[in-house]
C-alpha cells in the first residue's frame, strides 16, 4: 500500500476516533446536565415540602373542622385601582356577604383620592358557618396579599336562635386572618338581632369591630339592603373610623394616628 494511502487511512481513523470521543463527551455532558436538573428538581421539591411543613407547624390548628365537600359558589371578583397611586399602594380585600356591595361602590370612587386599590369578593348569602368550615378566606388572603381585610358579615344571622353556639365559627374566621390586618363590619340591622353583634364583638374586640346597627339607613325595596346613597354615608363613616383608629395600620386617606395600647 502506498505511503500516501496509509497516511490518508490513518488520518481518517484518527478523525473518526476524535469525532467518537467528542460525541461520547457530549453524551456524558448531556447526561450530567439531565442528572443535575433532576437533582435540582428533587432539592427544590424537598425544600418546598420543608417550607410547607414549617408553615403548617406555625399555623394554628383549625378550630372548626373543614367540610369534606366545599359548597359550590359563584366566584365573583371585582378589582379597582387608583389612577394616581404612587410609591407604596395599600391593598384592600373587601369580602363577606352582600352588604359589601354598597361599600365597594363607595370606596371604588374614593380610590381616586387615596393611595390604595380594592378587590371585592362577596359570598352572597354566607354566614359564619359558611366561612368557618371552608378555606375560602384563607385562600383569598394568600392569593391577594392585602394590606387590610374588611370583612362584612352577620346580616344573614340576625334571627339565628342558636347564635351562642357560633362562637367557634367566629374564632376560626379570626384564625384564618392570620397576621393580616383586618376589621369586621357588623350588619346594618333592619330588625333586632338575637346576639350576633355582641358575639362578634366578644371575640373580635371593639378595636376591630365596627358596629353598624346603631346607624340610620335608607333601604332598598327589599327593606334590607341600604340604598346606594345610604351605603355611601355608611362607607364614609367606616372610612373615618379606620383612618382615626390607632389600632389599625391602614389609611384610606393619609393622616396621623396615635399608638394603640391594647
Domain CATH for 134: 3.40.50.1110
User: Counting beta carbons within 10 angstroms of the beta carbon of residue 177, is it exposed (0 to 12), middle (13 to 18) or buried (19 or more)?
Assistant: middle
Q: Please tell me the predicted confidence (pLDDT) of residue 217.
A: 96
* Per-residue model confidence as pLDDT tens digits over 55-71: 544 557 888 778 766 66
Q: Please tell me the predicted confidence (pLDDT) of residue 103.
A: 97
Is the pTM higher than 0.85? The answer reads: no
Q: Please tell me the predicted confidence (pLDDT) of residue 51.
A: 52
Q: What is the CA radius of gyration of the chain?
A: 30
Q: Walk along the chain (262 residues) and give the pLDDT tens digit of each residue.
A: 565 555 555 556 556 566 667 667 667 777 767 777 776 766 566 566 545 544 544 557 888 778 766 666 667 888 887 766 666 788 999 999 999 999 999 999 888 787 789 999 999 999 999 999 999 999 999 999 999 999 999 999 999 999 989 999 999 999 999 999 999 999 999 999 999 999 999 999 999 999 999 999 999 999 999 999 999 999 999 999 999 999 999 988 766 555 554 5
Judging by DSSP bridges, how do beta strands 148-152 and 90-96 pair with one another?
parallel
CA dist., res. 72 & res. 13, Å (int) = 72
The answer to whether the CB of 165 falls within 8 A of the CB of 199 is: no
Q: How many domains does the chain have?
A: 2
Q: Please tell me the predicted confidence (pLDDT) of residue 148.
A: 97
User: Which domain, by its residues, includes 220?
Assistant: 78-244
Q: Please tell me the predicted confidence (pLDDT) of residue 9.
A: 54
The answer to whether the CB of 155 falls within 8 A of the CB of 98 is: yes
In a domain, 66, yes or no: no
Q: Which residues contact 255 (CB under 8 A, 6 or more apart)?
A: 243, 244
CA dist., res. 217 & res. 224, Å (int) = 9
| Residues 1, 50 within the same domain | yes
| Residues 49, 84 within the same domain | no
One-character DSSP codes across 171-232:
HHHHHHHTTS-EEEEPP--SS--SSHHHHHHHHH-TTTEE--TTS---B-TTSSSBPHHHHH
Q: What would the grid cell of residue 14 be?
A: 484518527
> What is the SS3 assignment for 113?
coil
In a domain, 120, yes or no: yes
Amino acid at each position: 500500500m502506498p505511503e500516501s494511502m496509509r497516511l490518508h487511512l490513518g488520518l481518517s481513523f484518527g478523525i473518526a476516533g476524535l469525532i467518537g470521543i467528542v460525541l461520547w463527551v457530549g453524551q456524558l455532558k448531556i447526561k450530567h446536565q439531565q442528572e443535575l436538573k433532576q437533582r435540582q428538581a428533587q432539592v427544590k421539591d424537598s425544600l418546598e415540602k420543608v417550607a410547607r411543613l414549617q408553615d403548617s407547624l406555625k399555623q394554628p390548628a383549625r378550630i372548626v373542622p373543614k367540610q369534606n365537600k366545599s359548597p359550590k359558589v359563584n366566584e365573583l371578583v371585582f378589582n379597582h385601582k387608583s389612577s394616581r397611586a404612587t410609591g407604596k399602594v395599600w391593598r384592600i380585600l373587601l369580602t363577606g356577604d352582600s352588604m359589601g356591595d354598597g361599600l365597594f361602590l363607595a370606596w371604588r370612587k374614593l380610590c381616586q383620592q387615596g393611595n390604595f386599590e380594592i378587590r371585592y369578593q362577596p359570598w352572597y348569602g354566607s354566614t359564619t358557618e359558611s366561612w368557618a368550615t371552608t378555606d375560602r378566606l384563607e385562600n383569598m388572603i394568600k392569593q391577594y396579599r392585602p394590606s387590610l381585610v374588611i370583612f362584612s358579615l352577620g346580616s344573614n344571622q340576625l334571627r339565628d336562635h342558636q347564635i351562642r353556639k357560633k362562637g367557634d365559627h367566629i374564632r376560626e374566621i379570626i384564625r384564618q386572618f392570620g397576621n393580616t390586618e383586618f376589621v369586621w363590619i357588623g350588619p346594618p340591622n333592619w330588625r333586632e338581632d338575637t346576639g350576633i353583634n355582641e358575639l362578634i364583638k366578644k371575640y373580635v374586640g371593639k378595636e376591630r369591630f365596627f358596629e353598624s346597627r346603631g346607624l340610620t339607613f335608607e333601604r332598598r325595596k327589599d327593606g334590607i339592603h341600604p340604598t346606594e346613597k345610604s351605603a355611601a354615608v355608611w362607607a364614609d363613616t367606616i372610612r373615618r373610623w379606620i383612618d382615626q383608629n390607632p389600632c389599625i395600620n391602614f389609611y384610606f386617606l393619609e393622616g396621623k394616628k396615635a399608638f394603640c395600647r391594647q
